[in-house]
């Protein structure tokens, strides 16, 4: 059976494996729920992205800045750092994580609409690669903060190319109505202002049009607008050293769904860039496409609850571990780790007291109580968006490397989840 997106999770003789490790062994050793990542899959994804860039003359001088928000476990950041990645961050916290994981500050891109003065100062002192500035007010603030501490801030403006990425409205970010970036029409004046500010150095142009985009065309449309702006700026004597095209490359979530390769996304962009004669570097901020299919969420069936209208498989994981189905109606394949029992249709639900607490609905599954289920394509925006809702300790994270399974985040204890709280009063 082919599972979506990666050969590193596969069924072998009726049992699902992560690389060389049977998933029931992981469940027995570390307990459930737990996230399981394949190291080989992570390496393969990063290498495929790098190879698509290296294969093209216009991609040689490029930097892949992994979007830390997507999965910020130190082991994953460290792996990408060793493969040569830079990092796209959106908070001071993410910068600290990157540095703690051995990432290089001079390969860090700082995005986000709400950078505080303290975060700017932290990033300037660390010596990051560049700031993606998202408003006129931020431009002025960054200049002020840099001046105060005697630094020059390298910047791009994040422009809003107003293209429709045809994705879920919550994750479309390049439309005119979005809170992100500055309007294309305002960009020339803002760049003119930026070059006058003494503590800023204009380096590039940035955009990020959305996430889980499976059509290469919106990226080409966005690049076209960036090239127009670049030409305009160069006429004004403003040199652009890099174009940051953001992330957003979509992945397969459904069984049998074809993957769009990095080459499918990137080659048309690199062709266009080469044809334009612009020798500037390309920066990418991929997240989901590097980690999404490289992880799964392993859970146990607690109860089977059969009803007249619906059957429920109540599992030991829930929306606090994986919010995407509840928040976006996102589809994750759910596969029994060792199929058995009689087949029936189930809503796979967690123990949380909300009707929206489901992992999947109307799934045909051959399962019994006590069986393990794998919720697939859960490497991206999964653990990273987890919470302690219903006082549920956050799940463990395991990295599989060949025949080894290594704990990269131990399961939280309930006591840890309330350790910061104090009782007040008599």
In whole angstroms, the minimum distance from the beta carbon of 207 to ligand LLP comes to: 9
The residues facing 204 across adjacent strands are: 156, 242
328 or 389, CB closer to ligand LLP? 328
Number of residues that bind ligand LLP (CB under 6 A): 20
Query: Looking at 2-10, 49-57, 134-142, 208-216, which segment touches ligand LLP (CB under 6 A)?
Result: 208-216
User: In this structure, are residues 260 and 216 in contact, taking their beta carbons and an 8 Å threshold?
Assistant: yes
Question: Cα(135)–Cα(327) distance, rounded to whole angstroms?
Answer: 28
Of 5, 252, 287, 350, the one binding ligand LLP (CB under 6 A) is 287
In whole angstroms, the minimum distance from the beta carbon of 46 to ligand LLP comes to: 13
Closest CA to 239 of 281, 199, 272: 281
Position closest to ligand LLP via CB? 247
361 Cβ contact list (under 8 Å, min separation 6): 347, 348
User: In this structure, are residues 380 and 357 in contact, taking their beta carbons and an 8 Å threshold?
Assistant: no
Of 4, 165, 218, 246, the one binding ligand LLP (CB under 6 A) is 246
Would you call 353 a catalytic residue per the annotation? Answer: yes
59 or 165, CB closer to ligand LLP? 165
How far are the Cα atoms of 69, 294, 382 from residue 252, in angstroms, in the given order? Answer: 20, 12, 16
Of 5, 92, 248, 379, the one binding ligand LLP (CB under 6 A) is 248
Residue 347: CB atoms within 10 A of its CB come to 17
For ligand LLP, the binding residues in 149-188 under the rule CB under 6 A are 171
Give the chain's end-to-end CA distance (angstroms, integer): 62
Does residue 107 belong to the site contacting ligand LLP (CB under 6 A)?
A: no
In whole angstroms, the minimum distance from the beta carbon of 244 to ligand LLP comes to: 9
For ligand LLP, the binding residues in 377-396 under the rule CB under 6 A are 381
For ligand LLP, the binding residues in 40-99 under the rule CB under 6 A are 67, 70, 88
Does residue 5 belong to the site contacting ligand LLP (CB under 6 A)?
A: no
Does residue 216 belong to the site contacting ligand LLP (CB under 6 A)?
A: no
388 Cβ contact list (under 8 Å, min separation 6): 320, 394, 412, 417
In whole angstroms, the minimum distance from the beta carbon of 345 to ligand LLP comes to: 26
User: In this structure, are residues 342 and 366 in contact, taking their beta carbons and an 8 Å threshold?
Assistant: yes
How far are the Cα atoms of 130, 137, 264, 309, 384 from residue 94, in angstroms, in the given order? Answer: 15, 23, 30, 46, 12
Give residues in contact with ligand LLP (CB under 6 A): 67, 70, 88, 111, 171, 208, 211-212, 246-249, 285-289, 324, 328, 381
**Catalytic site residues?**
353
């Amino acid at each position: 059976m082919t599972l979506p997106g990666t050969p590193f999770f596969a069924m072998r003789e009726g049992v699902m494996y992560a690389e060389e490790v049977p998933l029931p062994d992981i469940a027995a050793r570390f307990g459930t729920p737990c996230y399981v990542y394949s190291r080989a899959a992570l390496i393969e994804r990063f290498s495929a992205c790098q190879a698509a860039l290296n294969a093209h003359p216009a991609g040689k001088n490029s930097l892949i800045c992994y979007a830390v928000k997507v999965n910020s476990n130190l082991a994953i950041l460290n792996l990408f750092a060793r493969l040569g990645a830079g990092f796209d961050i959106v908070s001071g916290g993410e910068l600290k994580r990157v540095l703690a994981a051995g990432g290089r500050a001079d390969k860090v891109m700082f995005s986000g609409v709400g950078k505080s003065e303290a975060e700017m100062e932290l990033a300037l002192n660390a010596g990051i690669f560049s700031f993606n500035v998202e408003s006129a007010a931020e431009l002025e603030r960054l200049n002020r903060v840099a001046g105060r501490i005697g630094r020059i801030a390298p910047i791009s403006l994040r422009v809003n190319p107003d293209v429709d990425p045809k994705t879920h409205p919550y994750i479309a970010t390049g439309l005119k109505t979005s809170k992100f970036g500055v309007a294309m029409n305002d960009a020339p004046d803002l760049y003119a202002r930026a070059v006058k500010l003494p503590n800023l150095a204009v380096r590039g142009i940035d955009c990020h049009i959305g996430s889980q985009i499976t059509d290469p065309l919106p990226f080409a449309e966005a690049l076209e607008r960036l090239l127009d702006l670049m030409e305009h700026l160069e006429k004004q004597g403003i040199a652009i050293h890099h174009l940051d095209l953001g992330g957003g490359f979509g992945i397969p979530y459904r069984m049998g769904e074809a993957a769009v390769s990095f080459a499918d996304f990137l080659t048309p962009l690199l062709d266009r860039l080469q044809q334009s004669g612009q020798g500037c570097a390309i920066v990418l901020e991929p997240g989901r496409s590097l980690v999404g299919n490289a992880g799964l969420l392993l859970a146990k069936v607690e109860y089977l609850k059969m009803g007249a209208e619906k059957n429920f498989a109540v599992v030991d994981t829930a929306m606090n571990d994986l919010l995407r189905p509840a928040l976006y109606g996102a589809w994750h394949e759910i596969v029994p780790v060792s199929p058995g029992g009689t087949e029936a249709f189930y809503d796979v639900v967690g123990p949380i007291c909300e009707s929206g607490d489901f992992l999947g609905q109307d799934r045909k599954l051959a399962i019994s109580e006590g069986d393990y289920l794998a919720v697939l394509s859960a490497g991206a925006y999964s653990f990273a968006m987890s919470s302690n809702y219903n006082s549920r300790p956050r799940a463990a994270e395991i990295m599989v490397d060949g025949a080894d399974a290594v704990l990269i985040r131990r399961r939280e204890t309930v006591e840890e989840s309330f350790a910061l709280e104090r009782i007040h009063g008599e």
